[in-house]
Amino acid sequence: MRVGIIGTGRIAEKAAITLRGLTEVEAYAVGSRHQDTADAFAKKWDIPKAYGSYAALIADPDIDLIYIGTPHSHHFDVTREAILSGKPCLVEKAFMANSRQTQEILDLAHQQKVFVAEAIWTRYQPVVSIILDLISSGRIGEPRMVTATLGYSMGNKERIMRPDLCGGALLDLGVYALNFVRMFFPADILCIDGHCVKSDTGMDLTNTMTLILKDGVLCNLQSSASCVGDNIGVIAGTEGNLIIDNINNPQQITVNGPNRTFIETIRVPQQITGYEYQFLACRQALIDGRLEPVEMPHKETLYIMQLMDSLRQKWGVRYPMDI
């Protein structure tokens, strides 16, 4: 599968590093707003084609999958153009600015019969089934509470601070905490609430979210773009708990029994970077002729965007695209 990478920032570099480690998938092209940036990126990562505009990359007939690594604000236009050109897309999280844009893109993809997926990498990792098996085996009894934190000190990074780039911690980091819950506890959400501390620019810098699920599980989640979090997730049950370190790329799961007695530590399989699974899932979906990946169905992408819309509405965190 030949991948065209759009954007040359932090995550685009991670994608390039990851694809170098795979044999079934290759980084074939990179697209930037500037030709010299594309050329430098292609040279650094040994990528055959470099385009000085996103449109030029989208027009390349030899690309099998376009990976979109721009700020959230720019996902919509680039994905729309790619789908209209018939190109399958893997779009970084958060998928779009809001659920309205998400619905529009998913409808378009279905009309055009083009594959599109959200690059929420944790969903595609083998650790998901390891944790699901631990829960269903009854090792921790009946789950009653989930806590999860994700925090990085990001300074005044423009992508986080600016409303027109869809800033804030929620779309960047809180999305992992919400997915952490949904991956393991897909029951209906009876209520969701939260609070946040905002930047001078009106973006949520640190937030907390509480969810009560229909099956009686209470979830308490935090995300922050202004401090170093422990980034740990805990699934607490009547007979023990699972401590997942960390929710952004789980490396180990500690299983504790009653009274927090240590039982075992489980490590995840050896990774390239942890991003490889999302590319392999796209490849498999394309081979199978599917329009969405099994690991992250479109309805989940839409539902998570709706949850984030409702939280932002409560907090008064607004983007220019929210009309």
Ligand X SMILES: NC(=O)c1ccc[n+]([C@@H]2O[C@H](COP(=O)([O-])OP(=O)(O)OC[C@H]3O[C@@H](n4cnc5c(N)ncnc54)[C@H](OP(=O)(O)O)[C@@H]3O)[C@@H](O)[C@H]2O)c1
**Residue nearer to ligand X on the CB measure, 115 or 121:** 121
Residue nearest to ligand X (CB): 9
- Least Å distance between CB 14 and ligand X? 7
**Residue nearer to ligand X on the CB measure, 33 or 314:** 33
Measured from the Cβ of residue 180, the count of other Cβ atoms closer than 10 Å reads 25
**Residue nearer to ligand X on the CB measure, 158 or 264:** 158
Instruction: Calculate the CA dihedral of residues 42, 38, 271, 3 and round it to 10 degrees.
Output: -90
**Residue nearer to ligand X on the CB measure, 10 or 214:** 10
Q: Which of 323, 315, 213, 276 lies closest to 27, judged by CA?
A: 276
Alpha-helical segments (H) within 28-124: 35-45, 54-58, 75-84, 99-112
Question: Rounded to whole angstroms, how far apart are CA atoms 281 and 292?
Answer: 10
Residue 20 has what DSSP assignment?
H
- Least Å distance between CB 158 and ligand X? 7
Distances 237 to 136, 245, 255, 267 between C-alpha atoms, Å = 11, 17, 11, 21
- Least Å distance between CB 48 and ligand X? 17
Residue recorded with tokens 């999305």 = 175
**E strands, 214-308, where?**
218-224, 232-237, 241-245, 252-256, 262-267
What residues line the site for ligand X (CB under 6 A)?
7-12, 32-33, 37, 69-72, 74, 92-93, 119, 121, 159, 172
- Least Å distance between CB 107 and ligand X? 21
**Residue nearer to ligand X on the CB measure, 71 or 293:** 71
- Least Å distance between CB 173 and ligand X? 9
**Residue nearer to ligand X on the CB measure, 91 or 236:** 91
- Least Å distance between CB 269 and ligand X? 18
